Amino acid sequence: MSDQVNRFLGDSLGRTLIKLIVVSLIVGFVMTVFGLTPWNIIYGFRDFILDLWHRGFAALGRVGDYLLLGATIVIPLFLILRVFSYRR
């Protein structure tokens, strides 16, 4: 069982824990320097998803506006052309 754990972790349990502690301290220091907190990251990700969601539907609304605007010209022209080609 110990061999499977070592293979999964890539090293012994003690050495892996020490590596994780050192890396966590370094990352924590860097995050403090930049003024980041875990909550800032979570809220930032949430706000990004919500903003993307709202902008996505706004873009779809603009596409619908463009579609209706173009259809007011294209459909009558299409019908007129079909009528004239039907007479031949």
pTM of the prediction?
0.50
CB of 16 within 8 A of CB of 9?
yes
pLDDT tens profile 43-85 = 999 999 998 888 877 777 788 888 888 899 999 998 888 888 8
- Token duo for residue 57: 């539907």
As a whole number of angstroms, the longest Cα–Cα distance in the chain is: 89
Spatial separation of the C-alpha atoms in residues 16 and 8, rounded to whole Å:
11
Give the pLDDT score at 88. 61
Close Cβ partners of 6 (under 8 Å, ≥ 6 residues apart): 12, 13
Spatial separation of the C-alpha atoms in residues 35 and 20, rounded to whole Å:
22
